[in-house]
Amino acid sequence: MLPVSLTLDPAFRVGPVRRRTFGSFVEHLGRCVYTGIHDPGHATADDDGFRGDVIDLTRELGISTVRYPGGNFVSGYRWEDGIGPRADRPTRLDLAWHSSDPNLVGVDEFMRWSAKAGTEPMMAVNLGTRGVQEALDLLEYCNVRGGTRLSDQRRANGAIAPHDVRMWCLGNEMDGPWQIGHKTAHEYGRLAAETARAMRMIDPDLELVACGSSGRQMPTFGEWERIVLGEAYEHVDYISAHAYYWEEDGDLGSFLASAVDMDQFVESVTATADAVRSAKRASKRIHISFDEWNVWYQRRAESRPPTGHDWPVAPVLLEDRYNVADAVVVGNLLISLLRHTDRVHSASLAQLVNVIAPIMTEPGGRSWRQTTFHPFAQASEHAVGDVLQVAIDAPTYETAKFGEVPVVDAVATWDAAAGAVALFAVNRSLTEAVELSVDVRSLPELTRVVAATSLANPDHTWAATADDATSVLPRQNSTAVLVDGRVTVQVPPVSWNVVRLGR
């Protein structure tokens, strides 16, 4: 058993736990909306056609914000198609995913769903095929109390009170050649700045997200952020970051270390943002909205959209079935996001239902939790107070992508008012169990182990299904003990672990 030493100290405070770190993403893509959140024929459907079982699972998952309606979809979206009587709404081609959208769910329906699910809406505006005026129209429809054409139209559609959306994404992945309305950094930066400036004329207290590069692997990465922020720094609050990870060619060791890349990604974007801040002699800092992140096997058949004359409604797309190793990576990515809570102020797991999602459904039938559901739900529930940087002394292992990395990664949160600590840790070793020795002597009020769980399985390829979603769950880890200011706990290979300490 490999020995690993961890040290917790309240002096190692990174920043507060931010509830928006535990956001998600609903896009009109595949079965995320139709037969995902919306399935009028389902036994649990409410008067709006929303599945009650999915709403319950969303609440259990602990989702804070939901980004909507895309994603690539938003760059061709006409929001006004999705308001008013459903019988009058047009069906449109979705060029991003080669599908058709009947517009049965639009702005008002999503806002009602969001309220039922207990989430904060995070809206995206179309800066692909549209621009400043359309963004202003959507903002007027959503946030103005009344007395104007669009706000009165919202009231006539049944939403008397304004939706009061606080957080807005200024387009999506505009540096991507796949994006409808793809732009250069200078073109997008000017458009984002002018859109943001105009939106603030209606509501100066909005929180606005400029598009960062679509990924760290993009040739535009870094320079894109510099140019865009050079144009829009004074008008926006966040720059977006997107990252997806998957196991390639059987290289499980590198895959389990994916958070190394996320750490570097965050640090690179913050360095660029701060360089622009310095050049502009600005007082405010730009923070990160990591509003797309997950495990996504992009080369699998289910990730290929339809082609030709086939434009189906809600086709099966991006329906990855996640195994135990995927769940451990998702947990480790959450550790990375929490570790950077000083600069990552919002994040969105992409996506919520069916599409690379922790929740799966059958049309008209069952719903179940994927393996990735559990680390997210546990972190969302137990990460409270302040994030503490964990000092780690651990053996390393060699990876093809990242060189030598520690076998254990961890972060902790400290709730001073409750006198409680939550330690989140992953064991990346493929074969070796680890004994964690956690020094908490700087927190003498901790007197007991409240609970300890591990999510692992000797077969790391086990994946949940509708028939069996419970054989592998976070299980009680009875090895955890606290003696003389030190916690020891044994954790299995390829595992996600949570240890909670209290008075």
Give the catalytic positions in this structure: 173, 292
Query: Exposed/middle/buried for 321, CB within 10 Å: 0-12, 13-18, 19+?
Result: middle
- Centre a 10 Å sphere on the Cβ of residue 421 and count the other Cβ atoms it contains: 26
Position 74, amino acid: V
| Residue of 313, 263, 321, 252 whose CA lies nearest to 290 | 263
- What element of type H or E holds 449? strand 448-455
Cα angle, residue 16 at apex, residues 13 and 20 outer, rounded to 5°: 145
| Residue of 493, 467, 488 whose CA lies nearest to 478 | 488
- Centre a 10 Å sphere on the Cβ of residue 425 and count the other Cβ atoms it contains: 27
CB under 8 Å, gap of 24 or more: what pairs does 138-146 form? 138/79, 138/107, 139/165, 139/168, 139/199, 139/202, 139/203, 139/206, 140/202, 141/79, 141/83, 141/107, 142/107, 142/111, 143/202, 143/203, 144/202
- Answer whether 22's CB lies under 8 Å from 63's CB: yes
| Residue of 128, 102, 99 whose CA lies nearest to 40 | 102
In angstroms, the CA 28 to CA 100 distance is 10
Query: What token pair was written down for 152?
Result: 């009165």
Query: For the packed helices 132-143 and 107-117, what is the interaxial angle rounded to 10 degrees?
Result: 50
| Residue of 157, 273, 120, 142 whose CA lies nearest to 199 | 142
Query: What token pair was written down for 331?
Result: 């947990």
Cα 1 → chain centroid: 34
